[in-house]
Chain A
């Protein structure tokens, strides 16, 4: 059996370490899980061993021999195969062509594609995986998600033609799969393992990892926290390792009381959300959490009039929910979308213009540059914005400062309800803390806040109650008492994903 060691793996982006001196030992015939929260360094680690990103330092030793690894070709030559989370398939062509994508297609008479041979090769690869039900002549785009995954694994096998692959890396492979499809995948992984290959399995699905993996390495903040055989650890221990930072210091404590209920949602159903029942008080911070795409953004959009209530009762500030973003802003709902560049900012426009954008109506018909500038400067100071003045184009600011511009916009209206969709994503640590302080100040002024985050410590540190979503359905509504026994919440959070399948 092979042994593979990746040691001294380090990578910094612009001076900020994404991965610091991580070592990973893999062995043929074993499945090794790599776990960690978003931003823990999992993706960076995979990119380094795939040769996609140049490491600051990295030593690869395979069976006692040092291997070069500076580009994607080196990784291929070393026998490493990668099955990525977002499957890059060509939907318009056949399964067989996708499986042999990027390889020289078999030819007849030197010019014509030898379709029979092409299909035979693709079939052989699928047969090895036990996925003989897939028609190699079908269009790749027509396959269900699980079959697409099989197709990509088959492509990885074919690419290994000649040199057998020694390492398969799966990056969150079950994210888009049904339970049944996942089972099929696990059977394939078992087969690869039995064949003597090493498997690196990246996931944050706890139960999966416990079920199919032999060893588990946990990353946190770019460093390795622990590596243990799965048999010697437990769910609770792994979660502790993943989230073990000191929650108290990273988040300013809340210091104000809550007021009356400002929004109420009862048995609400929309096209893509179900069974929502919750209320929110003035000054409260309600967290919305769950797996990626469980409906967090859709829930926020409900209050912007972008997601229609089909049944049930929902009201905000004593009236039905706003039916358009224009009405929402006018009624004191401020919205900070997840995609800052795509959905929030006009990058080529001035800070001032971006801040006053939803509030232009308040200045009257005639544009009032001077008043706008004064407001923009005031708000900029409030959010601790660092810039060269209100006329600087937003596109020139750092991610954290851009986000502060978006906050300044929200604050300018003295909102009654603030909707925050992953507000600290792509924001540096210092700016993060400023943003938390702002949330606290706003709730002290009686503004209700709904905050979505896939960063669990952030949810725990900032929120008074947490609504856990699962496939668009409200799964739990946890209050302060449940939150204080945080282990319980964590377990629920990470098991929510299992129930969803």
Chain B
């Protein structure tokens, strides 16, 4: 009973938030246009959070996703600026993310540094690298090909609504992460590592390799989000991904409050992402000061997790 309440509590909270905004903003909130807008706004966060879930399943996490996103946006933009076609730039950006993620994984699983310390270090390294190669400047205008930025404006028309490509991309990434974590042997092994690392090792799981790959995937996701962001604003600057990390971790934690055994799951992470996205959209429309908005979001995340951990203690 308590357990069911705990699991559905977050979902209930989400419903209340939606109802609240629907009442407060009767004309603008629950419109197809606004909902699509929200889905597009949070598509980058959704990608980062879903791929962050992959490492958080193992009780690890990655603080460097924000700067990896910025760095891969910058790298792609510089490749474009050098006159290479769009696919080359995309590949370069994604490659940077995979390399950055694998380096994180190397530090954490091969060298054995705590994820907090390792990725805190690489956070500044990647961020510094982004500033260094871009000279701290925003890359925009003619350097960004229309084929790249056009993607973010485009979409698939269904009836009289247009589903943005960014939303579709996020949906595909979420589906992929869900499939990997819940329906492949690889994902099941990651959950076992999160359950008991030593037991997993003694049961013959190649823990070092698995963690390495998982961090690589998180890096790939961060890079993907960085490219989506760059496409959306048709420019790249070395700080544009920096907000993603905290929100992504918050979304995973929000999602974990719904998980029966306290382990992160992709679909719950998605609910966390939606809560953050809806709050942001609704509060902005209600013209709540952005600083107040930040405080509210932080407090909501803390209270959700607090309620979950209190009710768990009650069991």
Contact = CB atoms under 8 A, between A and B. Distances in A.
A, B from the same assembly:
yes
A176 interface: no
A306 B201 CA distance: 10
Given A325-B201, A337-B202, A358-B204, A349 B185 contact: no
B314 to A, nearest CB: 17
A328 interface: yes
Interface string A330-369: 1000010100001111111100010001101101111100
A349 B204 contact: no
Interface string A244-258: 000000000000000
Contact of A346 (B183, B185, B199): B199
B203 A409 contact: yes
B263 interface: yes
B191 A353 contact: yes
A336 B183 CA distance: 28
A141 to B, nearest CB: 25
Contacts of A436: none
User: Which of A306, A328, A342, A357 has most B Cβ within 10 Å?
Assistant: A357
A495 B175 CA distance: 65
A345 B192 CA distance: 9
Nearest to A413: B204
A328 B192 contact: no
B128 interface: no
A194 interface: no
Nearest to B201: A325
A393 interface: yes
A347 B203 contact: no
B191 A329 contact: no
Contacts of B137: none
Contact of B196 (A326, A347, A366, A409): A347
B74 to A, nearest CB: 35
Nearest to A344: B199
A207 B189 CA distance: 51
B184 A366 contact: yes
B259 to A, nearest CB: 10
A365 B184 CA distance: 6
A358 B194 CA distance: 15
A304 interface: yes
Contacts of B205: 325-326, 357-358
A345 B185 contact: no
B147 interface: no
Interface string A67-106: 0000000000000000000000000000000000000000
B198 interface: yes
B204 A348 contact: no
B238 to A, nearest CB: 39
Nearest to A364: B185
Contacts of B199: 342-346, 357
B200 interface: yes
Nearest to B197: A346
A349 B195 contact: yes
How many residues of B sit at the interface, in one of the four size bands?
20 to 34
B155 interface: no
Nearest to A340: B199
A264 B195 CA distance: 35
A349 B203 contact: no
A346 B200 contact: yes
B185 A358 contact: no
B204 A328 contact: yes
Interface in B108-148: none
B261 interface: yes
B33 interface: no
Given A357-B200, A393-B261, A326 B206 contact: yes
Contact of B202 (A343, A347, A348, A363): A343
B272 interface: no
Nearest to A394: B195
Contacts of B195: 346-349, 353
B186 interface: yes
A367 B191 CA distance: 13
A343 B198 contact: yes
Interface string A295-313: 0000000001010000000
A349 B194 CA distance: 10
A311 to B, nearest CB: 26
Contact of B189 (A337, A345, A360, A366): A360
Nearest to B196: A346
Contacts of B186: 365
Interface string B169-197: 00000000000001111111101101110
B262 interface: yes
A310 B204 CA distance: 22
A328 B206 CA distance: 12
Interface in B100-114: none
A335 B202 CA distance: 8
B262 A325 contact: no
A64 to B, nearest CB: 50
A168 to B, nearest CB: 39
A149 B33 CA distance: 77
A193 to B, nearest CB: 46
A324 B191 CA distance: 21
A361 B194 CA distance: 18
B54 to A, nearest CB: 15
B202 A365 contact: no
Interface in B191-246: 191-192, 194-196, 198-206
A346 B192 contact: yes
A368 to B, nearest CB: 9
Contacts of A365: 184-186
Given A361-B185, A367-B184, A349 B192 contact: yes
Contacts of A345: 196, 199
Contacts of B202: 304, 306, 325, 335, 337, 343-344
Contacts of A329: 203-204
Interface in A281-328: 304, 306, 324-328
B263 A358 contact: no
Contacts of A325: 201-205
B183 A367 contact: yes
A349 B191 contact: yes
Nearest to A329: B204
Nearest to B182: A367
A361 B192 CA distance: 14
A241 to B, nearest CB: 38
A367 B186 CA distance: 8
Interface in A124-145: none
A440 B7 CA distance: 45
B185 A348 contact: no
Nearest to A357: B203
12 contacts: A324-B206, A327-B204, A329-B204, A337-B202, A346-B200, A348-B263, A358-B204, A360-B188, A367-B182, A367-B183, A367-B185, A367-B188
Which 5 pairs from chain A and chain B are nearest by CB? A346-B195, A329-B204, A358-B203, A326-B204, A346-B196
Given A343-B202, A344-B202, 13 more contacts: A306-B202, A324-B204, A325-B203, A325-B205, A326-B206, A344-B196, A347-B195, A348-B261, A349-B192, A353-B191, A360-B188, A366-B183, A393-B261
